[in-house]
């Protein structure tokens, strides 16, 4: 259930809808060149290294401490920025649930910030309580998501039976135009929607038999996730054109339009939107909890100060790391809204976050074919070929992430923001690592001289 919650990313249904009728071809290409290779690589690495810390530990053992630290840094930045969109998403969903008269809610900066503050504090509390409580929250979020997506997928069929939808072809194959815009849409929907299988492995130290169960979770859920993405995107496009799609809330937008002619819509649509919204705090809570463990594990490896490793005396969770991540996430929520509209702020946060995530994925896919042979992590030829495919698709996403797919005030300024933040943050991470190693060497030299 956690895999369903983490891999089905609601934010990218709107991105996929921007591809219009070509989305089916895009999804199929993404499944073959990225999704299946990801499942294969994650299953392989998890069998070899079922360790608390997941991708961070895999990269550290494959390429050394410096690469491991930068992978953890990028994963941590991803969650910080991704969780920062929660205020934007919440106000948008509330506006759709209450109807047209409440449209102002989604554009009120002060309300967005207040909602962000409250929900991030709640996630900090859930992270502090630990996985034994959080797993029930994630299961509830998965079930609510599946119920709402099932309703979305059924909505065009209900309209066809009623005669209010002239035609509906969910599996129509249309070749996409080869433009920078369409490639940018493809890259964003591919990586943003289909990544996440490895994230649960961060909790390997808190799971029963992680080498077996985490691998099984990948293999069981992958085909269902693929079908959900295709049919749900087709359902959105049955009622909303790709130019009019709301990238922040495409599913509630489609549900409201698709069910407006039914007598039960006044009750069902708000309920479905509420159920769908449950996905966000629950999935963000899992991401937040996982990310808070990365500084803890890095502290065990002496890559960050021991302050991050301090545990709650009762719940045994990294409370200092949780407090630090919460404060930075709140700051990200504030900064993103300065000088831009909600749609552009949402797209910036999403693109920044998933570009950091993609940089970590470059290390993930590089392990099977670039790790030193003596580490014993290189698999057979087919799996190395799959890893190379995933690496190239991830690199395509990183390169094309600078191109916006929504209307922005300045495309040039948007691209500069993306590049500056991504490069600047990684330079800062490298400087933090080098400073930390310098302090460690100084302490070691002092200990030797004293002895």
In the predicted model, what is the mean pLDDT of residues 89-104? 75
Distances 29 to 191, 217, 224, 226 between C-alpha atoms, Å = 12, 23, 17, 11
Distances (CA, A) of 156 to 139, 161, 165, 174, 236: 28, 9, 7, 19, 9
Sorted by where each starts, the structural domains of the chain and their CATH numbers stand as 2-442 (1.20.1740.10)
Looking at residue 362, its pLDDT comes to 95
Using CB atoms within 10 Å of the CB of residue 126, give its burial: 0 to 12 exposed, 13 to 18 middle, 19+ buried.
Answer: buried
**pLDDT, tens digit, 9 for 90 and up, residues 231-275:** 999 999 988 888 888 777 788 888 888 888 776 666 677 777 777
Assess whether pLDDT exceeds 60 at residue 61. Answer: yes
Higher pLDDT, residue 333 or 70:
70
pLDDT of residue 264: 66
31 close to 297: Cβ distance less than 8 angstroms:
no
pTM, two decimal places: 0.78
Taking residues 285-301, report their average pLDDT: 75
From 289, 295, 422, select the one nearest 354 (Cα to Cα): 422
State the Cα–Cα distance between residues 229 and 235, nearest whole angstrom.
10
Q: What tokens does 428 get? A: 């800062």
Give residue 298's pLDDT: 75
Higher-scoring residue by pLDDT: 362, 353: 362
What is the number of other CB atoms lying within 10 angstroms of the CB of residue 375? 12
In the structure, what pLDDT confidence band is assigned to residue 448 with cuts at 50, 70 and 90? very low
161's tokens: 């039976």
- Over the chain, what is the mean pLDDT? 79
């Amino acid at each position: 259930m956690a895999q369903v919650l983490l891999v089905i990313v609601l934010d990218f249904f709107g991105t996929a809808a921007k591809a219009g009728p070509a989305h089916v071809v895009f999804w199929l290409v993404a499944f073959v060149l990225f999704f299946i290779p990801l499942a294969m690589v994650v299953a392989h690495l998890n069998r070899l290294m079922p360790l608390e810390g997941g991708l961070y530990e895999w990269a550290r053992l494959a390429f050394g401490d410096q690469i491991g630290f930068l992978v953890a840094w990028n994963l941590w930045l991803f969650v910080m920025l991704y969780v920062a969109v929660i205020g934007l998403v919440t106000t948008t969903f509330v506006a759709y649930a209450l109807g047209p008269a409440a449209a102002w809610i989604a554009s009120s900066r002060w309300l967005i910030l207040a909602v962000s503050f409250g929900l991030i504090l709640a996630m900090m509390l859930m992270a502090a309580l630990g996985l034994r409580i959080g797993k029930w929250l994630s299961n509830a979020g998965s079930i609510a998501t599946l119920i709402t997506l099932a309703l979305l997928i059924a909505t065009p069929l209900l309209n066809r039976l009623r005669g209010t939808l002239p035609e509906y072809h969910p599996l129509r194959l249309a070749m996409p135009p080869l433009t920078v815009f369409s490639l940018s849409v493809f890259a964003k929907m591919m990586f943003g929607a289909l990544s996440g299988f490895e994230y649960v492995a961060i909790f390997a130290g808190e799971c029963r038999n992680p080498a077996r169960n985490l691998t099984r979770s990948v293999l069981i859920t992958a085909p269902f996730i693929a079908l959900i993405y295709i049919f749900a995107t087709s359902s959105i496009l049955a009622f909303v054109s790709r130019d009019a799609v709301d990238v922040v809330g495409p599913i509630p937008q489609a549900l409201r339009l698709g069910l407006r002619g039914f007598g039960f819509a006044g009750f069902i649509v708000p309920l479905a939107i509420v159920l769908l919204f449950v996905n966000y705090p629950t999935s963000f809570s899992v991401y937040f909890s996982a990310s808070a463990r990365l500084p803890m594990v890095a502290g065990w490896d002496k890559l960050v100060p021991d302050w991050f490793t301090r545990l709650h005396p009762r719940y045994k969770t990294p409370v200092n790391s949780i407090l630090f991540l919460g404060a930075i996430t709140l700051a990200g929520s504030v900064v993103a809204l300065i000088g831009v509209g909600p749609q552009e702020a949402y797209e910036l946060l999403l693109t920044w976050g998933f570009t950091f995530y993609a940089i970590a994925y470059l290390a993930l896919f590089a392990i099977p074919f670039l790790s030193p042979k003596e580490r014993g992590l290189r698999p057979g030829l087919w799996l190395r070929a799959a890893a190379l495919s995933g690496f190239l698709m991830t690199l395509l996403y990183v390169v094309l992430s600078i191109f916006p797919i929504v209307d922005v005030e300045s495309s040039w300024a948007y691209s500069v923001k993306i590049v500056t933040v991504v490069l600047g943050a990684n330079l800062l991470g490298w400087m933090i690592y080098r400073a930390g190693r310098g302090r460690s060497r100084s302490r070691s030299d002092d200990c030797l001289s004293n002895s």
